[in-house]
Structure formats: C-alpha cells, structure tokens
C-alpha cells in the first residue's frame, strides 16, 4: 500500500492540550519510522503558538493549528475539521485519543467517509498491506489483530497509557489552517461539571504497589498503603478490592479502571486476569508476588516470587523503609 503519511489529531479544550497527545505523537512517529510516511500534527480549538510548541517533537514534520468557532469542544465541529483534513491531506493513518470526546465524532466520520476504524487500540503497526492494529476482544480475554484491506485511510483511537510518549524536541514548521467550520456546531455547552478528583493520580506514578484479591481483610489495606508510602510507591488495586468497597475506584488498574505505565509495577496478591493485564501492558518492569505458582500474572511479569504477599511486604518495609 502507498504510504501517504500519518496525521495526529489533537484537541485543545478550555485552553488545555490533552495530556495524551504526546503518546499519539510517539505512536505516529513509530508508524512513520516503519514507512507510513511523514508525520503531521493538527490541533483543533482555541489554539495558540504555545500549543504548537508543546507538540513540536522529534519526527514531526508539520504542525497545523486549526481555530474552532466554538469556545469549547463540540463534536460536530471536530468531525467537520477532521473530515476536511482527511480530504485535503489524504493520510494513510489518522490517530486520535480513545476518549469520550473522540467517541462523539470519530465513529460517525468513519462510517460516512468509509474509513478503516478501530477504538481502544493498544498496539499499531505498518507493513506492506498498510496499517494494522491490536485491541482487546471478548472482555480482554483475547487480543484481536485487525487489518483494513481496501481502506485508503484508517482512523485509530488509541488507549491512553498504552504508547510511549514523544519527549525529544523537534523543529517542525507551524502554520495556521483556515477551515470553514462556521455553522458546523449543532450543540451548545450549557454547563461543565467536573467530578471530584481522587486523592492520587496513579497514571503519573513511577512506582506502583498494587494489591488484589489476595488481601482478604480490609484492615490490611491501610497497612499496605503505609508500606507503599515508606518504600516510595503509590498504592493501586485490582477490581475486587474496589467492588468490595475497600478502595476508591480512582486507584483501580485494568480495563474498567486506569491504564498505567510506571517504571516499576509491584503486584501483591493479584492473580492477573486479562482485564487487569490490559491496564499494565506499558509498565517497564512488572514484579509479581503470589502464593499460587500457576497465577496468570507470572506469564506477564519480568520477575516473580511464589510467596506470601504479607511476608514480602514486611521484608520490603524493613529493607527499603
């Protein structure tokens, strides 16, 4: 398939560039390096020169700033903008975030324009047949390998935390692109409500101590959180502890929780259901401790120990606390 380039589509809402944009750029650079063509980044919203500088990363060849007629995100405006970009640029691959906002316009655009399309993508590639994608299937029990025969352009929504962000500075030219978006909006923002923030953001932690079903007593959670703090880790959990009401949902790792990419992920008493493993695929080092030698998490771990989680936690406290 002819390589015509990669387009990263980012959104600026309420003056803020989505944090995962750096991951989209990193994924786009990987595709470009594999032969998908030059990498372009387009930003839609109340864009400023500072936003352009924020996405100027090594490997990006062009940055386009597209002003929106709406003060905040509006799905129909985003759809019209991306449709115009695809029509004029004809990229082989378009990358956007797998977010509530993107789900408000990307599926409709893909259907109308006949694009190849996949959501919640955790892996991508480029080969002789064009773009390919990986995503969970059957409640993350399987990994589906997708290709898009006959599709000139493929639109992929990438899972946050699943791709390495681009960090090296670049020197791409920045230009403003005037698109006729007047009248595209069909909805009006009446009110914005922000849910109360949790006490921690596990997606930014470099070291996570994660606990699961092996913790059978709610009183042990506080003890393990104390140990985590003493060794410089942030406490996270698997779903059973959230379902039990012992830990708030903002600490949950997995398909129905948060996708994390710490430098170290220490899993104590976590069996390793596929839904949980989907949330830690980007972790640099996974260390598993479980009393069951057949626990599935050992297959994903870089290091493992068949041991009692409380004995290991106590020893860690003594050695590192």
What's the pTM value of the predicted model, to 2 decimals?
A: 0.75
* pLDDT per residue as tens digits for the range 73-89: 999 999 999 999 999 99
How many domains does the chain divide into?
A: 2
Signed CA dihedral, 52, 58, 63, 68: sign only: negative
* The predicted structure's pLDDT at residue 87: 95
Both 208 and 167 in a single domain? Answer: no
Residue 74 lies in a domain: yes
Residues 23 and 156 in one domain: yes
User: What is the Cβ-side half-sphere exposure of residue 232, based on CA atoms within 13 angstroms?
Assistant: 8
pLDDT at 161 over 90: no
Within a domain: residue 26? yes
Residue 260 lies in a domain: yes
Of 142, 176, 210, which marks where a domain is finished? 176
pLDDT at res. 126: 95
pLDDT digits (tens, 9 = 90+) for 209-252: 999 999 988 989 999 999 999 889 999 999 999 999 999 988 99
Q: Which CATH number does the domain housing residue 28 bear?
A: 3.40.50.620
Whether 192 is covered by a domain: the verdict is no
Do 168 and 252 fall within a single domain?
A: no
Q: Nearest to residue 28, comparing CAs of 166, 167, 161, 187? A: 166
Query: Is residue 263 one of the residues assigned to a domain?
Result: yes
- CATH code of residue 228: 3.40.50.1220
Quickly list DSSP for 209-242: EEE-TT---THHHHHHHHHHHHTT-EEEE-HHHH
Judge whether 1 lies within some domain: no
Contact 302, 287 (CB under 8 A): yes
Residue 53 vs residues 5, 62, 173: alpha-carbon distances, Å: 21, 12, 10
Q: Higher pLDDT residue, 282 or 99?
A: 99
For the chain, the average pLDDT equals: 90
**By residue range, what is the domain housing residue 134?**
6-176
When pLDDT is cut at 50, 70 and 90, the band that residue 196 belongs to is low
pLDDT single digits (tens) 4-15: 999 999 999 888
Which of 122, 141, 176 marks a domain boundary?
Answer: 176
Tell whether the model's pLDDT for residue 286 goes beyond 70. yes
Q: Is residue 144 part of a domain?
A: yes
The verdict on 109 and 232 lying in the same domain is no
166 and 64, same structural domain?
A: yes
The length of the chain in residues reads 321
What integer is the mean pLDDT of 108-113? 96
pLDDT per position as a tens digit, 51-62: 999 999 999 999
Phi, psi of 125 (to 5 degrees): -160, 165
24 alpha carbon, distance to own chain's centre: 8
Q: Do 222 and 76 reside in the same domain of the chain?
A: no
Same domain, 148 and 230: no
pLDDT of residue 282 exceeding 90, the answer is no
The string of pLDDT tens digits covering residues 85-110 is: 999 999 999 999 998 899 999 999 99
Tell whether 62 is covered by a domain: yes
| Cα–Cα–Cα angle for 198, 200, 205, rounded to 5 degrees | 145
């Amino acid at each position: 398939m002819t390589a015509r380039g990669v387009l990263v589509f980012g959104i600026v809402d309420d003056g803020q560039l989505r944090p995962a944009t750096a991951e989209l750029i990193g994924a786009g650079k990987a595709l470009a390096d594999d032969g998908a063509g030059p990498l372009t980044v387009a930003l839609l919203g109340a864009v400023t020169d500072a936003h352009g500088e924020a996405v100027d990363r090594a490997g990006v060849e062009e940055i386009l700033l597209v002003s929106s007629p709406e003060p905040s995100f509006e799905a129909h405006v985003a759809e019209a903008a991306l449709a115009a970009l695809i029509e004029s640029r004809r990229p082989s691959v378009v990358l956007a975030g797998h977010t509530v906002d993107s789900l408000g316009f990307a599926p409709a655009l893909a259907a109308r324009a006949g694009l190849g399309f996949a959501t919640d993508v955790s892996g991508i590639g480029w080969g002789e047949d064009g773009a390919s994608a990986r995503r969970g299937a059957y409640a993350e029990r399987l990994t589906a390998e997708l290709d898009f025969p006959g599709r000139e352009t493929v639109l992929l929504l990438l899972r946050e935390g699943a791709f390495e962000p681009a960090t090296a500075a670049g020197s791409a030219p920045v230009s403003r692109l005037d698109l006729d978006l007047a009248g595209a909006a069909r909805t009006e923002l009446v009110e914005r409500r922000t849910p109360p923030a949790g006490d921690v953001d596990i997606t930014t932690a470099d070291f996570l101590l994660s606990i699961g079903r092996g913790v059978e007593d709610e009183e042990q959670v506080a003890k393990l959180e104390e140990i985590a703090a003493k060794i410089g880790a942030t406490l996270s959990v698997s779903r059973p502890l959230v379902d039990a009401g012992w830990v708030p949902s903002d600490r949950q790792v997995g398909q129905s929780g948060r996708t994390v990419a710490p430098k170290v992920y220490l899993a104590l008493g976590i069996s390793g259901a596929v839904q949980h493993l989907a949330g830690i695929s980007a972790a640099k080092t996974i260390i598993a401790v479980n009393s069951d030698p057949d626990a599935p998490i050992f297959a994903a771990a870089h290091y493992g120990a068949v041991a009692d989680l409380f004995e290991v936690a106590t020893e860690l406290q003594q050695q590192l606390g």
